[in-house]
């Protein structure tokens, strides 16, 4: 069983899907805390599942690095094996990323390296491509540049809006994130190494 801290900024539908999966006693990951940079709506999911929450707002710090140091302390307090960025909408400075290297992953709504950044769904539609998708990757110091763990395609349908496409992408994200964490947990577990 691995311990997971999830960081969010928004509605937290990926977080909710993970909380639901981890209700199953054979699911090999437990969410031990949920953190945010703001009063994110998704924190309510954590409260409902009686998971610890913390908010570290960058507005209260004089530099990004100071903010990240406090965010990191909150994360490390829970001694996670894995930290998941699930809609965390801040760029994390090097001091945070370096400290968690190899156990920090992000979910992104495109087939990276296509459509990096905060508007990946909109950008895919604007580019007129016929398919986009989901990428789960390790986080490095760049923006959406870390090593890719897994990807899954989503076809763009005629008449798709940013909302309808993102909804379909999120359905894929919910399954892929849970399955990927499950796989990483099995890789980390001592039994899997025997």
Give the residue, chosen from 86, 92, 124, 178, that forms a contact with ligand GRF under the rule CB under 6 A: 86
Size of the site for ligand GRF (CB under 6 A): 14
Determine contact, residues 86/40, Cβ cutoff 8 Å.
no
Task: Check residue 170 for interaction with ligand GRF (CB under 6 A).
Answer: yes
Comparing CB distances to ligand GRF, the nearer of 23 and 191 is: 23
Run of H or E including 54: strand 52-55
Here the tokens at position 186 are 């099995």
Mapped onto helix, strand or coil, the DSSP state of residue 7 is strand
Provide the CB-side half-sphere exposure for 138 (13 A, CA): 12
Q: Could you tell me whether strands 148-155 and 2-8 are parallel, antiparallel, or unpaired per DSSP bridges?
A: unpaired
Comparing CB distances to ligand GRF, the nearer of 1 and 155 is: 155
Comparing CB distances to ligand GRF, the nearer of 11 and 189 is: 11
Task: Check residue 173 for interaction with ligand GRF (CB under 6 A).
Answer: yes
**Contacts to ligand GRF from residues 47-66, by CB under 6 A:** none
Contact letters (x/-) for ligand GRF, 113-152, by CB under 6 A? ----------------------------------------
119 given a catalytic annotation: no
Determine contact, residues 4/29, Cβ cutoff 8 Å.
yes
Instruction: Give the number of other CB atoms < 10 A from CB of residue 150.
Output: 14
**Contacts to ligand GRF from residues 87-116, by CB under 6 A:** 87, 107-109
| CA distances (Å), origin 3, targets 82, 107, 134, 160, 188 | 7, 18, 24, 37, 11
Task: Check residue 181 for interaction with ligand GRF (CB under 6 A).
Answer: no
Catalytically annotated residue among 108, 137, 166, 174: 108
Here the tokens at position 160 are 């798709």
- The contact set with ligand GRF (CB under 6 A) reads 8, 10-14, 42, 86-87, 107-109, 170, 173
């Amino acid at each position: 069983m691995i311990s997971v801290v999830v960081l969010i900024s928004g509605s937290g539908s990926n977080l909710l899907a993970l909380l639901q999966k981890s209700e199953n006693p054979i699911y090999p990951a437990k969410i031990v805390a949920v953190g945010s940079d703001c009063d994110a709506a998704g924190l309510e999911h954590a409260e409902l599942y009686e998971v610890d929450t913390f908010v570290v707002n960058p507005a209260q710090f004089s530099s990004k690095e100071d903010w990240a140091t406090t965010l990191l302390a909150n994360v490390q307090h829970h001694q996670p094996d894995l930290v998941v960025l699930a809609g965390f909408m801040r760029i994390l400075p090097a001091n945070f990323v370096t400290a968690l290297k190899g156990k920090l992953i992000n979910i992104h709504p495109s087939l990276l390296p296509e459509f990096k950044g905060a508007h990946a769904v909109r950008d895919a539609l604007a580019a007129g491509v016929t398919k986009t998708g989901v990428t789960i990757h390790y986080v490095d110091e760049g923006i959406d540049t870390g090593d890719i763990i897994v990807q899954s395609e989503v076809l763009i349908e005629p008449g798709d809006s940013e909302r309808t496409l993102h909804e379909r992408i999120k359905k894929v994200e919910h399954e892929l994130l849970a399955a990927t964490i499950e796989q990483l947990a099995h890789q980390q577990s001592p039994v899997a190494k025997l």
